[in-house]
Structure 1
Amino acid sequence: MNVSDDAGWPEAKALLDALSPAMVALMDELTGVMFCAKDAAGRYVLVNEVFVARTRERSRRDVVGRRAPDLFVAELAERYEEQDDRVRGTGRPLRGELELIRHAGGAPGWFLTSKLPVSDDDGRFVGLVSVSQDLRSGDADDATIRDMARLRHEIEARLELGDVPTAGDLAALSGYEPGALERRVRRVFGISPRQLVLRLRLDRATHLLTSTTVPLAQIATAAGFADQPSFTRTFARVTGETPAAFRRRSTAARPPA
């Protein structure tokens, strides 16, 4: 990542001065991780190629200096800025935020996002750095992968019956003690058992949203939510858009028959 290619306005320089050049250079080596650094005003100062590929732009030059609303649909931009405000306001990192983000071409994929505040030598907030990891199967032995595939099937079968498994249920279904289960789920899926259940619930919901015309209230029930409002709130928190908006965009992106 060539810092000299990026803009040099004062807020950007303050952020760059607080970042490690080695860390910045390393971000370009990541192939499954989106990276960005934003100044105190929310402008992108640094992005890697994985990040650029998530936008509609073709190069880093087209991204640097712009804000989230310039690059993403309104629902996603609002979520990103709300996250940024939380980090700025509390001074604390945001870690392990499970998100469903659309890949290039419109297909959704699961990411785990973390954001850290950046301060200068005087302790002033000068921006933040963010990474979003594409959640694919991790490096695990065959037996663990087989066990976790079976657990996933068991969770999906429970959801088919309208039953959302608890932590105790997951331990019983897997045959592992809670601590061992946590380690194995993270090794294969990159997330906690609780996040895995949420992911599978929303996977079920997105499948119904994109492949059927089933009413939202029925989809909420099928995904294990008490009612449509709770489904809408959770779906919007994780995806950055309401179920109705997600369905509309998926329909619009679908090629004609």
Structure 2
Amino acid sequence: MIPDLFNRLGQPFTGEELFDHLHDVVFFVKNDGGQYVVVNQTLVSRCGKKHKSDLIGKRPTQLLRPPLGERYEEQDDRVLASGQTLTSQLELHVYPTLETGWCLTTKMPLRESDGTIVGLVGVSQDVKIPDVDTDEFQHLADAINYARMHTARSVSVSDMATIANMSRYQLDRRMRRVFGLTTGQWIIQLKIDVAQRRLQQTDKSIATIALDVGYSDQSAFTRQFKQATGLSPREYRATYQATRSS
């Protein structure tokens, strides 16, 4: 049924026009060299470009300042080399326009009929901003406020479930509905957001900021910060200061 349908189409279906209407989703298809072959308009805008042709045939390092472009290429290379899907990776995107936003990124390999990997397809969906006036959010409010007030205590999913008077499963399900994130992902987002503000607004050491957001191990903090932002805390601070001065 599916092959018959696609064989009848006048041109290959990529989903490009569909994703052009989804302004909170970045969509792309890349070849086995990691070059863009299909992009949606949201990605064009966030790269600070006007036309899709400005992206086609280019790799992320040609469009995004280092080391951010390198991070995305490393992801691509892993997917292309391993054939394994990257699923719902929580990360902070920072574009040349200086627009930032939390996204959940998924990348999947594209294969020929014999299994050879010929490219990949990916989406990055913006993490939604919750409506705090809904009943769904109010059921989570105590747990959320507790986590925000005690970032240095390394609040766990179990801690939040206890405060919310829910099981871990019930809490996770409600967090997904309200934030589009698991509870664990939301806690990571909270910690990285607080760390960013400390790096921007204070001259505290990296070790002190790690403690401020609940990490007793600075290397663990650095590793998670870099996984989320593509920059080490030191690189992030330097980039922020350079951007402000310019």
Normalising by structure 2, what TM-score?
Answer: 0.89
Partner of 1:229: 219
1:28 to 20, 23, 43: 20
> Which moved further from structure 2: 64-73 or 74-83?
74-83
Question: For residues 163 and 95 of structure 2, what CA distance do their matches in structure 1 show?
Answer: 32
Question: For residues 29 and 20 of structure 1, what CA distance do their matches in structure 2 show?
Answer: 19
Determine whether 1:191 maps to 2:178: no
SS in 2 for 1:29: coil
Q: How far did 1:106 drift?
A: 2.1
1:134-172 residue CA offsets vs partner (Å, 9 max, x unmatched)? 11235798111123343221101121xx21122221210
Determine whether 1:218 maps to 2:226: no
Question: For residues 62 and 233 of structure 1, what CA distance do their matches in structure 2 show?
Answer: 33
1:172 to 151, 162, 186: 162
Question: For residues 149 and 63 of structure 1, what CA distance do their matches in structure 2 show?
Answer: 42
1:51 to 43, 57, 67: 43
The list of structure 1 runs, each at least 4 consecutive aligned residues, that deviate by more than 3 angstroms after superposition, is 138-141
1:138–1:187 contact (8 Å) kept in structure 2:
no
Q: How far did 1:190 drift?
A: 1.0
Q: How far did 1:51 drift?
A: 0.6
Partner of 2:230: 240
Check 1:131–1:138 CA distance in 2 against 1; reply closer, same or farther (3 A cut). farther
1:200 partner amino acid:
L
Number of aligned positions between the proteins: 237
1:253 to 240, 243, 246: 243
- For structure 1, list consecutive stretches of 5 or more residues without a partner in the other structure: 1-18
Check 1:107–1:221 CA distance in 2 against 1; reply closer, same or farther (3 A cut). farther
Identity over aligned pairs, percent: 36
CA RMSD of aligned residues (A): 2.2
2:20 partner amino acid:
D
SS in 1 for 2:153: coil
2:59–2:73 contact (8 Å) kept in structure 1:
no
Partner of 1:118: 110
Check 1:80–1:224 CA distance in 2 against 1; reply closer, same or farther (3 A cut). same
2:48–2:97 contact (8 Å) kept in structure 1:
no
**1:90-129 → structure 2 map (5 Å cutoff):** 90-103=82-95, 105-129=97-121
1:53–1:104 contact (8 Å) kept in structure 2:
no
- For structure 2, list consecutive stretches of 5 or more residues without a partner in the other structure: 1-10
Partner of 1:40: 32
1:96–1:112 contact (8 Å) kept in structure 2:
yes
**1:197-216 → structure 2 map (5 Å cutoff):** 197-216=187-206
